Structure 1
């Protein structure tokens, strides 16, 4: 236990620090007050995630600067057995980029299909957040579909799960309704009915 200023005493329980008033008011029992994450040194595990976060930020920067033509930096971050998923899987199961993709070779196929189907107009990183074994990229992307020439401008969230310096799982979230309009899937299903 560490002693805090003003007569409070901190107790560390794993990741949280709890402070107890030391008799500030006569007759009142000590009451717990949440202070927040316990101060501790960065562990080796945290350093691994921070390094991964930095490498991921650089990969997104390169990818955005090249307008989606250089995904190789992402491949360096992936484990051979990565699981690649998207919110589009259920809505567009026959689409070549909707997934799921299992293994690095299949994921490289995803990036190939993406480049064949879409032209990136812009990509902007808004934040990269890490907690535990997850690193989350938050941003916006703007694409043009090569067949329909319609654009897709959407917020995008990518959740990367990391284990031993490598991404073992990826989950992508985009606006699926806008995606459907851009590939003209919604119109096609209306005409078929």
Structure 2
């Protein structure tokens, strides 16, 4: 059974690939996810960020990532603090995205909470400044 250190190492690699590629390739996340993974977002599918609706499978999470990168351009994605306890890993950082339609920028702290089973992420919840993102997504 993978240890929490292995879960952190897997996430460090995925976040580094995501950041370095500016979100162009979602494969780094697909490699981490279990087929039955779920995703929740503080934005919860609000009209300004409809792609953040709850997801209940790996394929649905792929749709979230496609919506994110369709609507937003990654400027920076710095997730530097990893806190692991048993099957959970909390990742803390700061991200900056530009909305592709409005051109406005959202610069926000970000916290991701992931739960693992047998070396794969089965649950993912993200927290960020929704007010800043909604304002950037609104013309």
Q: Per the shorter chain, which TM-score range? A: over 0.9
Conserved? CA contact 1:96–1:110, under 8 Å: no
Q: Deviations for 1:91-147, whole angstroms, at most 9, x for unmatched residues?
A: x15733222011011101111111110000111122011012110111110100001
Aligned length: 139
Q: For 1:130 and 1:102, how far apart are their aligned partners in 2?
A: 23
Q: For 1:112 and 1:87, how far apart are their aligned partners in 2?
A: 18
Relative CO higher for 1 or 2, CA cutoff 8 Å, sep ≥ 6? Answer: 2
Within 5 A, what are the aligned runs for 1:105-144? 105-144=59-98
Larger radius of gyration: 1
Within 5 A, what are the aligned runs for 1:1-193? 47-89=2-44, 92=46, 95-184=49-138
User: What are structure 2's unaligned runs of at least 5 residues?
Assistant: none
Moved over 4 A (4+): none
Q: TM-score normalized by structure 1?
A: 0.68
Conserved? CA contact 2:89–2:114, under 8 Å: yes
Aligned Cα RMSD in Å?
A: 1.5
User: What are structure 1's unaligned runs of at least 5 residues?
Assistant: 1-44, 188-193
Q: TM-score normalized by structure 2?
A: 0.93
